[in-house]
Structure 1
């Protein structure tokens, strides 16, 4: 119209274009928000839970379970008593440097087992060592609180489990009377860890609450039997592997190889819901047989994994380095009880 031209008002075509762009922007924002924060409405079954494992002491033997409770701090045993075994609530650390110690340096740690022993204690056992009962620290013993250092010198709080436990660990691992200590996490009074900013910037769905107590990263790690089976076909004939070398909490049967890489949401059973927050990068620990604590001489299967499972995203490479990936780290969205045999569901897009 003449008055629009005279006064410089935008044309109807302009406003129509703006309206379409705004509608597309709103739609995109809602889809993005739904995809990152909302539990899916539709699910499809991709397999079943074939193995469920808790690792009470970081870098020591795991315990196969038939059912477990999924909490923000990881899986824990289901029992009638007040004490439960929780995932990586114990940690071994150097009494002088306060640095945490793992089977990467001391492979025989993989042969240390822990079991419940009554309502307030656990029992440690290892080859050629007497069994040792340890009273699990309680809130009233907070005067024993100290710190130890994990990856990148991150300081985490722990409560020391006493000289008897320290002596037992030192004799078994170091063949000395001292040197190592055993720490325990008091969930009700100790703070949670805070993720590095570069990690959250690279992996957008990663939150502080996803960090495990003393685990390398998150409270949950999932792998699939099919991916391990495919890896077996690529290994030299003399190399054999078992799933426990990769230390997953959840092992899935029935899915396609490496399909888990693309799963965004995972539901196990009826109530426990998780988000895929990042790939699980692999280290030398995968080369150690968990039954014998012997390392494979040619660093298999790590060497083979590096040949075809390297990260390719430049941003991920900057954060993760050159380590290959196998399995996924999960963050808990809805808590619940899971059982071996439960169906595994993923978002049906």
Structure 2
């Protein structure tokens, strides 16, 4: 039998799960080699003039939406957000799991359940992840990969999405931890579906923020797959507070040091390290989630009240879609994939 026939015969014999993981690994490897590859065309940026503005200080992903952060020293910037794989374990991606109400399908956040920020979801093996929280027994479960039934869920403004339900054991675990009851909440895993901003609740946003595109969206991220804040802006805020806060209360993916306070508001094209290019597509309006201490789950209004005094929106068009919530940080879309590490230089395109 020819060698290619043997290869095909062997591949057919693999389980569906193994094939999926293999293809996912190939996709991630391609993303990690993105030093010379462009994820999207950059016709608007044919001749970039990069000026160094700082360095990458912190990198975070949040495998469970509204859950505990995972800080990394280096990661892949992919079309589905930050991806991180340790050894031979399951590849974690930003906001690839979410908690949702089992009756309504509505997603849950720290705004509804402040203790959710204490839940750690980490890779346990090639096909399993583990839920952890202090004073609670951990739970390991198999990730529901392709082939599993899809269920309906909704995000902000009732945006309809689908997810793979993770099963009864994770549902009971998260329900007990957040509500003290054995049911009511469930955990969903991404189907990697593409989101459409030009129909439904986000359409009005694209008319105000004209550089906001479908490719900017993440898995279960609020709107885009990347969010950036700066150390200097945080320091400026803390100078006005009696109880300083950390960047973690703003749940960024990227924290930049060395730039001027709130200069990121005016950045458009941003290069991280040697290859990754992101674009500022929208300011990040802040809600009650920033009141939650990521280490304790306790809430404090001071930072949010302070931001309202000096970081309020002043553009009527933006207020028409964002409301009057204060601004801190920027939502970004990815234009060139690759690796980014702490300490990498950060550049901004200057005309």
Q: TM tier, shorter chain? A: 0.7 to 0.9
Measure, in 1, the Cα distance between the counterparts of 2:156 and 2:332: 19
Aligned residue-pair number:
308
Question: What is the CA deviation profile of residues 11-30 of structure 1, one whole-angstrom value per residue up to 9, with x for unaligned ones?
Answer: xxxxxxxxxxxxxxxxxxxx
Measure, in 2, the Cα distance between the counterparts of 1:277 and 1:146: 30
Matched, 1:250 2:257: no
Seen in structure 2, the aligned counterparts of structure 1 residues 35 and 213 have a Cα distance that, compared at 3 Å, is: closer
Question: What is the CA deviation profile of residues 25-72 of structure 1, one whole-angstrom value per residue up to 9, with x for unaligned ones?
Answer: xxxxxxxxx997225422011110000000000001000001111111
How far did residue 240 of structure 1 move? 2.1
1:220 aligns to what? Answer: 226
How far did residue 95 of structure 1 move? 0.3
Among candidates 241, 246, 252, match of residue 245 of structure 2: 241
How far did residue 203 of structure 1 move? 0.5
Matched, 1:94 2:101: yes
Matched, 1:203 2:209: yes
How far did residue 79 of structure 1 move? 4.0
Among candidates 149, 170, 176, match of residue 165 of structure 1: 170
In structure 2, runs of 5+ residues without a counterpart are 1-40
How far did residue 82 of structure 1 move? 6.7
User: For the Cα contact (< 8 Å) 1:267–1:274, is it kept in 2?
Assistant: yes
Q: Which has the larger radius of gyration?
A: 1
Matched, 1:124 2:128: no
Among candidates 186, 191, 195, match of residue 192 of structure 1: 195
2:187 aligns to what? Answer: 182
How far did residue 140 of structure 1 move? 2.5
Seen in structure 2, the aligned counterparts of structure 1 residues 40 and 162 have a Cα distance that, compared at 3 Å, is: farther
How far did residue 212 of structure 1 move? 1.5
Measure, in 2, the Cα distance between the counterparts of 1:342 and 1:309: 29
Please show how residues 62-81 of structure 1 align to structure 2 within 5 Å. 62-81=69-88
Seen in structure 2, the aligned counterparts of structure 1 residues 40 and 157 have a Cα distance that, compared at 3 Å, is: farther
Higher mean alpha-carbon deviation, 146-155 vs 222-231, is at 146-155
Please show how residues 103-122 of structure 1 align to structure 2 within 5 Å. 103-122=110-129
Measure, in 1, the Cα distance between the counterparts of 2:50 and 2:194: 35
Measure, in 2, the Cα distance between the counterparts of 1:61 and 1:245: 11
User: For the Cα contact (< 8 Å) 1:36–1:205, is it kept in 2?
Assistant: no
Measure, in 1, the Cα distance between the counterparts of 2:218 and 2:154: 15
How far did residue 103 of structure 1 move? 0.7
How far did residue 194 of structure 1 move? 3.0
TM-score by length of 1: 0.86
Measure, in 2, the Cα distance between the counterparts of 1:267 and 1:80: 28
1:19 aligns to what? Answer: none
Structure 1 segments, 4+ long, off by >4 Å, are: none
Measure, in 2, the Cα distance between the counterparts of 1:97 and 1:271: 42
Matched, 1:313 2:315: yes
2:19 aligns to what? Answer: none
In structure 1, runs of 5+ residues without a counterpart are 1-33
Matched, 1:278 2:282: yes
2:51 aligns to what? Answer: 44
User: For the Cα contact (< 8 Å) 1:123–1:132, is it kept in 2?
Assistant: yes
Q: Secondary structure at the match of 1:234?
A: coil
Seen in structure 2, the aligned counterparts of structure 1 residues 191 and 260 have a Cα distance that, compared at 3 Å, is: closer
Measure, in 1, the Cα distance between the counterparts of 2:44 and 2:107: 34
> Could you say what the CA RMSD is over the residues aligned between the two structures, in angstroms?
1.5
User: For the Cα contact (< 8 Å) 2:197–2:206, is it kept in 1?
Assistant: no
User: For the Cα contact (< 8 Å) 1:67–1:78, is it kept in 2?
Assistant: no
